[in-house]
Chain A
């Protein structure tokens, strides 16, 4: 009898493609919502990305009751409380998050407060605290990387205690994720590259870490194929809306994959680097991915070799001896990283970021050792191992 066991869960309706935004009124009405509130950030509003969302709703007779556009990059308990206050005052009955990871996480946390009651979001921190379905909630991602629209986690900073509060519950998942190519069309090249590499890392770690399973594998490989096929095309032609849609879908698919099979050392190092040096998450992912795959190589040779098919296509895959496919997969990722560096100077090493000092590597390694992702890395990581990977990633 096989010892394999896995769980897979994704109840989020995915609405993707041309004129996807115009489905928002129908979806909200179907959920019994008539007074939606938009949660977003200043950058999204300034880029004009709210306009098609509002137009789509108004044209269908659905009035947006309130717009909160001041979500900071690292959202806090205070911001969540303020937004919940506005939601209640304006008698809203549903939420639409428009933005990247921070706006989406903030809206998830606001949904807890406005559904469960209270003003202190910290009371709901942890796993399994929320026991009931929350208010109708739609997400419109404006970056193609985080996958937050399909994850059951939110992280909010408690500014008073200087700690990051995690919230985990399947009830945090939105009712629908609306993926419309118009929302990512104006992403600047370096953000396009970093967020796509974030999604690539989600998919690669989902496929090679300990909780991999047949269903998450299917999503991960499809995501890798889409990113490999579209990323450089979009970098060369940012207005390629088909390519943009491919990346946005890949991000959601990678999100579904990793939320069901978790991630490993790349994320542990990335979280620690982000916390200490304030480097963007996607950049950390892009930077660490090849070095961690090299470190894990002997534990993941077989699945990593399989990925060559999705990274380079059937011709390269069949022309590469099976014993060399894992190394060839790492080379393909390095090649992609180098191409991105050529096009938008996306850093390839910690030194190239200009934001990390060599003396910080030990602190990063120590913090990474306590990261939850460490548990799912296929190889047991010691502090010395983490230091060694960081040293290789330095320059």
Chain B
């Protein structure tokens, strides 16, 4: 009985969490593309103006980033200025929650058919590598190990801390700017 009563609250909390995580990830993608050479190198292979979307089916939360060129991303929030080039779609909000709460690795979610790719698969692979790189920076090592297939052995603590600090600072600044406008 109690479980039934709190169920709507659980649904709401889950939706809010996924929405918040998308907002953080979108801003963090923009931030990491401004500071990390490896991410820039990966992103340079994407066409300029390339729009990437990550969303929850059918009409749930979404994040949209654009490749502005030279490896730099711009976070557009949840609305795209034109049709997106690549969309990674979670089949259900529960699947998005499993991945975004680091209970299921992104690669495992793909293997488990939790997500669909609409667009060029090679770009999806590239974007997944970028997301993995981002997660290894911004998450504590123990959590990051749950999020990515393999934690990079060449990422040492000073580089990780410095990069994480710069990314979080940029994310916070972006949040403040969004609120002001």
Contacts and interface: CB of A to CB of B under 8 A. Distances in A.
Interface of A: 3, 5-7, 126-128, 166, 209-211, 262, 369-372, 374-376, 379-380
B70 interface: no
B149 A380 contact: yes
Interface stretch (B60-68, B115-123, B169-177): B115-123
B107 A210 contact: yes
Interface string B100-123: 000110011011111011110111
Given A127-B118, A380-B148, 8 more contacts: A128-B118, A210-B111, A211-B112, A262-B111, A370-B122, A375-B107, A379-B149, A380-B149
A375 to B, nearest CB: 5
24 contacts: A3-B103, A6-B112, A6-B113, A126-B119, A127-B116, A209-B111, A210-B107, A210-B111, A211-B111, A211-B113, A262-B111, A370-B45, A370-B125, A370-B126, A372-B121, A372-B122, A375-B110, A375-B111, A375-B128, A376-B107, A376-B110, A376-B111, A379-B150, A380-B149
A6 B125 CA distance: 21
Contacts of A374: 125
A14 B148 CA distance: 39
Given A3-B104, A210-B107, A372 B112 contact: no
Contacts of A7: 112-113
Contacts of B128: 375
B164 to A, nearest CB: 20
A210 B122 contact: no
Interface size class of B (residues with CB under 8 A): 20 to 34
Interface of B: 45, 103-104, 107-108, 110-114, 116-119, 121-126, 128, 132, 148-150
Contacts of A128: 116, 118
A31 B62 CA distance: 43
B113 to A, nearest CB: 5
A370 B125 CA distance: 6
A166 B118 CA distance: 11
A379 B103 CA distance: 19
Contacts of B103: 3
A169 to B, nearest CB: 12
A146 B19 CA distance: 43
Contacts of A6: 112-113
B147 to A, nearest CB: 12
Given A380-B148, A380-B149, A371 B110 contact: no
A376 B105 CA distance: 12
